[in-house]
């Protein structure tokens, strides 16, 4: 390409970083370019909430107009800001690799309470103008208050530092990482995209050009990440089907997992509404988007009743998710749990590098022994539910397997990469599986301590609920000692070892992505009828 290109961009520090990133990539393939800064409606109007601005392209419209007028050759956008349909005459020629789409909750250090989920004190005020973030965060922490927050990254951080109305703010990790913003004077909670589902295409850059510029389209293909394009196409198709803009309380996240694509969606009517979440897998990304959309149809069938083999707090996430759709819950444990030991050897604890918990019961029975842990001892947990229980004992997990979902082999492998060569203490149930132990290297010293055991209840009454949720293999054994599965009942299992019991019975079941209340809610709403 002989001509020097003109790149249109907004003028914020982040937008300039993004435009210069593309400029440098172009230079690597022998194409010269210069930048032109263009102000957009979203930059100019700062006194209104995002959902009060007209249209869906308030951060992109002016750049697109200059493209159509021929005053610039390409525009660089944060892909999440773009409407799902390009204006006539414009196309997306390339998308970047994806920066981590996690959210960051940035908290004043005097507002931290690690015993609470997200490490934020009770009744704290969170700054964000995103209805998607408000809906999902308030579902996790109903006590929190929200206050609108506008401006570029520097402005928002300055407001957190100077304005006493905010105890914390929420920002996308991608932007903070790209401009290497220093936030070390705050406590930072990183929230993975499988917990707070991001905006469609969050963390991805889009390069937009005129459709007739075939030469430029061809020249830009070395910059295009085809795999990212496939995954965000799922997210943006979901956004398109709901006819929603970036101010809508809708999150969607898709990623490749082996030969399949897996996707999460969170959709609410308003920022005050409890969101409905769904998790689905499919080999065809286009079909995956269609299936997600069908789960939110007004006339779709949902169960009227759910049995779960443990007691359920009416204020819990799962209970509130079910109550929204008038789904009754029958919660009762089918086992009794007893401690095995009443004392820990302080000498053993002194030399432990890692403690890894595979269940909430393991955490509770271990800490009931009032262990005195060395400051160097790190703690790992399996899943968000265990991570939340650990916080009650004033500890935050140094490793959490939630990003790997239900794949215990993969979780064990990730943990082994951190713990191999040291001393690992594993408080566990008597006769539990030893997946983590098997993944650790021979050089690793493993200390197995059974801290509790389970005893099955006798004469368990059957449930007539449409969905049966089993939380452990022991609960399965107790229930089916005297009962059979009724026609039409569907089964959800927490954990692969629980599912293995149904494999033995040749009964189909659903495994939630994560063994916690969010994953369980997703599984119920994802059931096929």
Residues annotated as part of the active site? 81
Rounded to whole angstroms, the Cα distance separating 190 from 119 reads: 11
Cβ pair 309, 333 in contact under 8 A: yes
Among 92, 50, 90, CA closest to 67: 90
Helix residue ranges, H only, 118-274: 131-140, 153-162, 173-178, 214-220, 226-241
Strand (E) or helix (H) holding 318: helix 317-323
Cβ pair 262, 280 in contact under 8 A: yes
Rounded to whole angstroms, the Cα distance separating 213 from 450 reads: 67
Beta strands in 180-331 (DSSP E): 187-191, 205-210, 250-257, 260-267, 276-282, 305-308, 328-331
Strand (E) or helix (H) holding 184: none
Strand partners, 189: 105
> Which tokens in the block code for residue 235?
């997210």
Among 235, 248, 294, CA closest to 95: 235
Contacts (Cβ under 8 Å, ≥6 apart) of 277: 197, 264, 265, 266, 321, 518, 521, 522, 525
Report in angstroms the alpha-carbon separations of 333 from 87, 309, 382, 384, 479: 57, 5, 21, 21, 10
CA angle 443, 447, 453 (to 5 degrees): 145
Helix residue ranges, H only, 406-505: 408-419, 435-439, 473-480, 496-505
Contacts (Cβ under 8 Å, ≥6 apart) of 52: none
Rounded to whole angstroms, the Cα distance separating 36 from 261 reads: 38
Report in angstroms the alpha-carbon separations of 232 from 97, 285, 437: 11, 10, 37
CA angle 66, 230, 294 (to 5 degrees): 105
Cβ pair 341, 369 in contact under 8 A: yes
3-class secondary structure per residue, 99-160: CCCCEEEEECHHHECCCCHHHECCCCEEECCCHHHHHHHHHHCCCCEEECCCCCHHHHHHHH
Rg (alpha carbons) of the chain, rounded to whole number: 25
Rounded to whole angstroms, the Cα distance separating 272 from 202 reads: 22
Look-up: residue for tokens 């083999």? 309
Strand (E) or helix (H) holding 389: helix 384-391
């Amino acid at each position: 390409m002989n001509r020097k290109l003109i790149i249109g961009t907004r003028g914020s520090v982040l937008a300039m970083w993004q435009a210069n990133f593309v400029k440098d990539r172009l230079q690597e393939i022998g194409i010269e370019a210069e930048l032109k800064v263009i102000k957009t409606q979203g930059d100019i109007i700062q006194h209104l909430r995002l959902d009060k601005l007209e249209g869906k392209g308030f951060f992109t419209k002016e750049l697109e107009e200059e493209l159509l007028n021929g005053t610039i050759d390409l525009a660089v956008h944060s892909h999440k800001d773009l409407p799902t349909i390009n204006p006539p005459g414009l196309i997306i020629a390339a998308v970047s690799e994806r920066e981590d789409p996690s959210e960051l909750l940035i908290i004043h250090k005097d507002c931290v309470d690690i015993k609470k989920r997200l490490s934020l004190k009770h009744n704290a005020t969170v700054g964000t103008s995103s209805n998607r973030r408000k809906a999902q965060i308030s579902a996790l922490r109903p006590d929190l208050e929200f206050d609108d927050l506008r401006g570029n990254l520097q402005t928002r951080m300055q407001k957190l530092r100077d304005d006493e109305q905010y105890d914390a703010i929420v920002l996308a990790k991608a932007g903070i990482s790209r401009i290497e913003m220093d936030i070390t004077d705050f406590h930072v909670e990183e929230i993975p995209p499988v917990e707070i589902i991001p905006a469609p295409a969050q963390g991805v850059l889009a390069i937009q050009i005129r459709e007739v510029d075939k030469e430029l389209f061809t020249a830009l293909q070395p910059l295009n990440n085809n795999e990212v394009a496939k995954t965000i196409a799922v997210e943006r198709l979901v956004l398109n089907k709901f006819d929603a803009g970036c101010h809508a309380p809708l999150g969607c996240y898709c990623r490749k997992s082996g030969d399949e694509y897996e996707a999460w969606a969170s959709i609410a009517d308003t920022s005050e509404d409890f969101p409905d979440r769904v998790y689905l897998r499919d080999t065809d990304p286009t079909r995956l988007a269609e299936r997600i959309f069908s789960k939110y149809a007004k006339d779709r069938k949902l169960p009227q009743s759910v049995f779960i083999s443990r007691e359920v707090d009416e204020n819990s996430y799962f209970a509130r998710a079910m109550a929204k759709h008038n789904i009754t819950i029958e919660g009762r444990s089918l086992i009794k749990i007893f401690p095995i030991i009443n004392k820990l050897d302080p000498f053993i604890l002194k030399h432990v590098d890692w403690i890894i918990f595979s269940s909430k019961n393991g955490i509770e029975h271990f800490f009931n022994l009032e262990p005195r842990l060395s400051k160097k001892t790190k703690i790992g947990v399996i899943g968000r539910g265990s991570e939340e229980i650990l916080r009650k004992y004033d500890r935050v997990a140094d490793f959490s397997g939630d990003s790997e979902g239900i794949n215990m082999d993969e979780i064990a492998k990730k943990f082994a990469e951190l713990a191999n060569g040291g001393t690992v203490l594993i408080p566990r149930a008597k006769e539990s599986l030893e997946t983590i132990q098997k993944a650790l290297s021979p050089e690793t010293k493993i200390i197995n301590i059974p801290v509790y055991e389970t005893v099955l209840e006798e004469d368990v009454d059957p449930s007539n609920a449409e969905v049966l949720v089993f939380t452990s293999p022991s609960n399965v054994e107790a229930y089916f000692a005297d009962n059979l599965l009724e026609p039409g009942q569907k089964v959800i299992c927490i954990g692969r070892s629980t599912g293995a019991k149904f494999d033995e019975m040749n009964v189909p079941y659903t495994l939630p992505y994560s063994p916690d209340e969010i994953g369980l809610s997703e599984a119920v709403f994802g059931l096929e009828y």
